[in-house]
Amino acid sequence: MKNAVHFTAFDFPKQKGVYQGKVRDVYNIDDELLVMVTTDRISAFDVVLPRPIPYKGQVLNQIAETFLDATEDIVPNWKIACPDPMVTIGRFCEPLPVEMIVRGYLSGSAWRTYQKGARVICGVPVPDGMKEHQKLPAPIITPTTKADSGHDMDITRKEIIEQGIVLKEEYEKVENYAMKLFERGTQMAAEKGLVLVDTKYEFGKAHGHIFLIDEVHTPDSSRYFYLDEYGSRFEKGLPQKQLSKEFVREWLMENGFSGQEGQKIPAMTDDFVQMVSERYIELFEKITGHPFRKPGSSNATLRIQQNVSTFLQAYQR
């Protein structure tokens, strides 16, 4: 647990700035490259929790790498190289200010909204009489605005286009990309005995072209169920065994925290942190079909510094 990367403060050659997100530290290299360091921070309800999760950053980065490589025939993506288990270096893109949430099942925040009586979610009609975790008649897109801090907000396709947040032709293009990506992710998950329940995609622009950016089909951006248990658990009304971050949200809610003002984040014990780490590693092995390999280096921050610097020196020659 001592070697978990909580925060970074690198100073790379030609570095113009750094953006610290909830989980990722993104370094701008001369408006040409982005060095994305996936830290071991963990967030829930748009709040960064006080303790990092060992190996979580490596899990997220390497799963994203797997799916970026597996979907580049659908849409070009921002990735150039992954010189370190926790780092992706890619082309500098201007993000589109919306996130494309694709849902194949009525779960998570969509279910909580549905429980309150809503039958239209982000402008998309949802049938009456559905149950939690029930498969939707067809996958739907429930977009959100992309906030630099705080909560992302639900929005409709119509509002995005009418307000000029994204041009109509560009929105239609990323909508099409998102559906095709979800179909590919669903197929790949099924091959590993998993159900891809829902996920989010982010897109950006560089030199007039649209690219898929950020993470893809990771447990932070996606929800997975076990395929062999899904049907029986659903029929019996039992909770689904999930390989996603939802179990962290559920633990927080059980301990009196759901991101509301005045609520206190419960203490994260060593046992809890270890359990979360093991769940992330489990998902990596399940979704990729490969054993998780822990780096031999005892100093992750120094290793990242050296690996990124070596790549940049060779790239910038």
Instruction: Give which of 191, 211, 194 is closest to 80, Cα–Cα.
Output: 211
Q: Which pair of structure tokens corresponds to residue 84?
A: 């370190």
Residues 198 and 225 in one domain: yes
Tokens of 291: 């054993």
Residue ranges making up the domain that contains 107: 95-236
Question: Could you tell me if 72 and 177 lie in one domain?
Answer: no
Range name among 122-136, 161-175, 216-230 with the lowest pLDDT average: 216-230
d(CA 229, CA 194): 9
Is a pLDDT exceeding 70 seen at residue 182? yes
List, in sequence order, every residue forming a beta bridge with 302; answer none if it has no partner: none
Position 258 scores a pLDDT of 92
Please give the mean pLDDT across all residues of the chain.
94
What does the pLDDT read at residue 179? 98
| Cβ contacts of 135 within 8 Å, gap of 6 or more | 104, 105
Q: Give the list of residues 6+ apart from residue 269 with CB closer than 8 angstroms, or none.
A: none
What is the predicted pLDDT for the residue at 30? Answer: 95
Mean pLDDT value of segment 127-144? 97
Taking residues 55-83, report their average pLDDT.
97
pLDDT tops 60 at residue 149: no
Residue, of 152 and 194, whose pLDDT is higher: 194
C-alpha closest to that of 105 among 303, 251, 246, 205: 246
pLDDT at 220: 83
Kind of pairing between the strands at 144-145 and 98-105:
antiparallel
Please write the tens of the pLDDT for every residue from 79-100.
999 999 999 999 999 999 999 9
Whether residue 298 is predicted with pLDDT greater than 90 in this model: the reply is: no
Q: Give the model confidence (pLDDT) of 227-280 as tens digits.
A: 999 999 999 999 998 877 878 988 999 999 999 999 999 999 999 999 999 988
| Closest among 89, 95, 94, 96 to 33, alpha carbons compared | 89
Amino acid 147: pLDDT: 64
For residue 254, being part of any structural domain is answered with: no
Residues 213 and 297 in one domain: no
Provide the number of structural domains found in the chain: 2
> Which H or E run contains 162?
helix 157-162
Asked if residue 1 has pLDDT above 70, the reply is no
Cα angle: 262, vertex 268, 274; to 5 degrees = 150
Q: Would you state the structure tokens that stand for residue 21, as one six-digit string?
A: 């997100």
Phi, psi of 252 (to 5 degrees): -65, -45
Angle formed by the axes of helices 168-191 and 56-70, to 10°? 110
On whether both 102 and 72 belong to a single domain, the answer is no
- Whether 278 is in a domain gets the answer yes
* CATH classification of the domain holding 158: 3.30.470.20
Task: Answer yes or no: is 265 within a domain.
Answer: no
124 within some domain: yes
Note whether 206 and 92 are within 8 A (CB).
yes
Q: What is the pLDDT of residues 18-48, one digit of tens each?
A: 999 999 999 999 999 999 999 999 999 989 9
**Res. 152: pLDDT tops 90:** no
Specify the pTM: 0.89
Q: What does the pLDDT read at residue 148?
A: 58
User: Quick one: 204 and 141 in the same domain?
Assistant: yes
Asked if 117 and 64 sit in the same domain, the reply is no
Please classify residue 136 by burial: count the beta carbons closer than 10 Å to its beta carbon, then call 0-12 exposed, 13-18 middle and 19+ buried: middle
* Averaged pLDDT for residues 122-137: 97
| 43 and 165 together in one domain | no
pLDDT at position 143 over 90: yes
User: What is the per-residue pLDDT for 146?
Assistant: 78
Residue 150 in this model has a pLDDT that exceeds 70 = no
Contact yes or no for 305/13 (Cβ under 8 A)? no
Question: What is the bridge-based pairing of β-strands 135-141 and 94-95?
Answer: unpaired
Q: 251 lies in a domain? A: no
Q: Are residues 71 and 188 in the same domain?
A: no
First to last CA, the chain: 37
Q: Looking at the structure, tell me whether residues 36 and 149 fall in a common domain.
A: no
DSSP 214-267: S--S-TTTEEEEEHHHHHHHHHHTPPPPB-STHHHHHHHHHTT-SS-TT--PPP
